[in-house]
Amino acid sequence: MIKVECNGEVLEFSNEISANEVIKKTYGKKSGAVAALVNNEQKDLSYLLNENCRVEIIREDSNEGLYIMRHSCAHLLAQAVTELFPNAKPTIGPPIDDGFYYDFFMDPINEDDLRRIEKLMKKIVKQNLPIQRQEHSNETLRKMFSDNSFKMEIMDDKIGQEVGSSTYKQGNFVDLCRGPHVESTSKLRWFRLTNTSQAFWRADSSRETLVRIYGMCYSSKEDLQNREKLLREAAKRDHRKLGKDLQLFHIDEMVGQGLVLWTPRGTIIRNELQHFISEHLIRQGYQQIYTPHIGKLDLYRTSGHFPYYQDSQYPPIIKRDTLHKLSDENCTCGDLSNLMSEGEIDGYMLKPMNCPHHIRVYASQPRSYRDLPLRLAEFGTVYRWEQSGEISGMTRVRGFTQDDAHLFVTENQIEQELLGCIELVKVIFGTLGMKDYRVRIGLRDSDSDKYVGSPEKWNTAEEACRNAAASLGVEFSEEPGEAAFYGPKIDFVVKDVLGREWQLGTVQVDYNLPERFDLTYVGSDGEKHRPVMIHRAPFGSMERFCGVLIEHFNGMFPTWLSPTQVHILTISEKHKEYAERIAQTLRDLALRVEVDSGDDTIGKKLRTHRKMRPAYLMILGDDEQNNETVSFMGPDREQNTGILLDKFISDITAEIKSKS
């Protein structure tokens, strides 16, 4: 007799029974089950119960259920790919948010191939092939996958030389997998292949190049369609596309990948944002500084950025004399690299971080407790060597300007200063209409001993992070293990109008760098003490922040940020003078104005200028000229006719001033 507990009931069976039968008895045939939880372990629906246990349903629309469907969809993809491309070797294929991907060792494929694969996947779904789990010995497994070195490597690493494992089979396709999976291919109806990209085996660029195929998968047609709609809308708003159409920035192969050229219109947005942030920095008692774009290798040896993070940095700059001397000595590149790491040769580096420079500003004079908190801010440009595959528009770049600041504080000041940092974020998100954001607090992993600083200090700092986040009045989550080894941190994740989340900046407590640079201040007791540092770049970088804003506003910036605030269009030649006079009046008030008094028809002018998405589109004709009025369409897209010029000016200047 087997007793099975399911949904609060205890069922009794004389023989073994599948999890599916139990779920059907309890929830009915249309339960939407994709798998089962047996004694808290995920199992296939076909899993046979032969002893007393507890069974829970995993429904297709739950997170766990979707994960299993997406994973099953990855297998479906691999089945289709290996049928169409018999030489393709499947490697790994995990589920991800919204869908799945699978990496194949194969020749690159194009859009047509992708549609062909998708078509075959749909056919396999219709065939309703059962998806069957099988257990194998280590020996059998190795025979089965002997022609796939990737799967062999996974077996060596993950499973071990001696142990067997399970496979999943559908039609002629078999994959090494622990499961669970849906029962049959017909359960996977609502998917779509989205794109392909290049990947490396084990994410290691020295290993094999792979073709990654992405897809999305949902449990209902409606969910899939909503997602597709969202993606179409996102594509329209893509900052790379809008940035080009609206002439906001340019990335030039001749200058270098990932290096953003801010064109005049984009520069206006960046300047306005920087002014805006600067106003708040002044209000909060920050002092702004400028520091150079390079620093000596020794500086970064002290900070620990070199040689440990070499892979993510541009290579060092070495003095010409030194290079000549080394070349005369037949020094190889390997020797050079060793000499640099060991500190035998000095050179310079493009700065990967602003902190070391700011620290030297702190250390440039003796500090007393009366000087603290010392808040040094800089819109500081840093350079990092991102892999070329990761570079994208303004959001993943190789040179960027952080809205950076370093606060040098006493232990007791940490909480108050964190609060200030968060306050700033709140004001700026509020002004930009980014109302929906959350905060993540990265805390220690209590099992690890990698952290610098005493447990008491950590407790205080973590508590300070919590209190500061709580004071914001927004949702926050605590994430143990996410702290850096040198201190806890607070991250900001903002949701845009499409519901997409963007991780922007971070506020980070640091016990490590003050130690490494032996920073001190003289306390009220006359003794030397160690300050604590807070790094904060709440918006990450100006590049990333602007990229996010372009998409958030869909290129329709609020008037104060708009690259051109008023476009004036004339109906005919005779209104040119009036247009110029208004333009000058507005420019005298520091408004950004463009005039089009050319020969084109007003219809054509409107079409051309609308594309640039100005805040105000003004049309001037006889009526306006005779009555000293203006007609325009504002940010609300409403048509306003015959408004007195003075009224227009006072309204628009008030709007800009209030940043509404």
**The Cα angle at residue 349 between residues 347 and 355, in degrees rounded to 5:** 125
User: Of 177 and 242, which CB lies nearer to Zn ion in the complex structure?
Assistant: 177
The tokens for 199 are 């990947």
Q: How far is the CB of 40 from Zn ion (least distance, A)?
A: 20
- Are 132 and 170 in contact by the 8 Å Cβ rule? The answer is yes
Smallest separation, CB 74 to Zn ion (Å): 7
User: 596 catalytic, yes or no?
Assistant: no
Is the Cβ of residue 358 or residue 609 nearer to Zn ion in the bound state?
A: 358
Q: Which of 239, 375, 398, 535 is catalytic?
A: 535
Closest CB to Zn ion among residues 441, 484:
484
Secondary structure class of 254 (helix, strand, coil): coil
**What's the token pair of residue 367?**
């500090």
Nearest residue (CB) to Zn ion, 542 versus 633: 542
CB of 75 to Zn ion, least distance (A): 5
Q: Please identify which of the residues 187, 357, 384, 398 carries the catalytic annotation.
A: 384
Number of residues that bind Zn ion (CB under 5 A): 3
Show the CA angle centred on residue 58, arms to residues 52 and 60, nearest 5°: 155
User: Quick check: is 584 catalytic?
Assistant: no
Name the active-site residue from 406, 440, 529, 544.
406
Minimum distance from residue 376 beta carbon to Zn ion (Å): 10
Min CB(242)–Zn ion separation in Å: 31
Burial class (CB in 10 A: 0-12, 13-18, 19+), 284: middle
What binding mask, one character per residue, do residues 311-350 give for Zn ion by CB under 5 A, x or -? ----------------------------------------
Among candidate residues 404, 491, 496, 510, the one labeled active-site is 404
Closest to Zn ion by CB, 118 or 378: 378
Q: Are strands 132-136 and 165-170 parallel, antiparallel or unpaired?
A: antiparallel
Q: Nearer Cβ to Zn ion, position 91 or 597?
A: 91
Residue 535 as a binder of Zn ion (CB under 5 A): the answer is yes
**DSSP class per residue in 411-467:** GGGHHHHHHHHHHHHHHHHHHTT---EEEEEEE--TT-----S-HHHHHHHHHHHHH
Nearest approach in angstroms of CB 290 to Zn ion is 16
Q: Which range binds Zn ion by CB under 5 A, 157-165, 207-215, 278-286, 529-537?
A: 529-537
Least distance in Å: CB of 460 to Zn ion? Answer: 20
180-219 burial string, b = 16+ CB within 10 Å, else e? bbbbbbebbbbbbbbebeebbbbeeeeeeebbbbbbbbbb
Q: Locate 568 and state its tokens.
A: 């004036």
Q: Using CB under 5 A as the criterion, what x/- string covers residues 349-368 for binding Zn ion?
A: ------x-------------
- The answer to whether residue 507 forms part of the interface with Zn ion (CB under 5 A) is no
Annotated catalytic residue 447: no
User: Which residues, numbered 166-195, are part of the site for Zn ion (CB under 5 A)?
Assistant: 177
Nearest-angstrom CA–CA distance, 44 and 36 = 6
Q: Which is nearer to Zn ion, 180 or 316 (CB)?
A: 180
| Phi then psi dihedrals of residue 438, to 5 deg | -135, 170
- Of 376, 473, 372, give the one whose Cα is nearest residue 419: 473
Shortest separation between residue 535's beta carbon and Zn ion, angstroms? 3
At residue 307, the 3 state secondary structure works out as coil
Q: How far apart are CA 190 and CA 196, in angstroms?
A: 19
Residue closer to Zn ion, measured from CB, 7 or 312? 312
DSSP letter at 574 equals G
Q: Choose among 612, 613, 619, 563: nearest CA to 596.
A: 619
Could you confirm whether 406 is annotated as catalytic?
yes
Q: Which is nearer to Zn ion, 239 or 535 (CB)?
A: 535
CA–CA separation, 623 and 578 (whole Å)? 12
Distance between CA atoms of residues 286 and 279, nearest Å: 10
Please name which of 405, 355, 628, 638 lies closest in space to residue 513, comparing C-alpha atoms: 355
Q: How far is the CB of 559 from Zn ion (least distance, A)?
A: 34
Of 6, 53, 217, 355, the active-site residue reads 355
Question: Is 535 part of the annotated catalytic residue set?
Answer: yes
Catalytic-labelled residue, pool 192, 305, 367, 489: 489
Q: Is 384 in the site for Zn ion (CB under 5 A)?
A: no
Task: List the end-to-end C-alpha distance of the chain, in Å, as a whole number.
Answer: 72
The residue (of 75 and 575) whose beta carbon lies closer to Zn ion is 75
Segment contacting Zn ion by CB under 5 A, of 114-122, 419-427, 438-446, 535-543: 535-543
Residue 468 burial (10 A CB sphere; 0-12, 13-18, 19+): buried
Non-local (6+) Cβ contacts of 67 within 8 A are 95
Q: How far apart are CA 474 and CA 426, in angstroms?
A: 10
CB of 94 to Zn ion, least distance (A): 8
Q: Give the residues lining the site for Zn ion (CB under 5 A).
A: 177, 355, 535
Q: Which active-site residues does the annotation give? A: 355, 384, 402, 404, 406, 489, 535
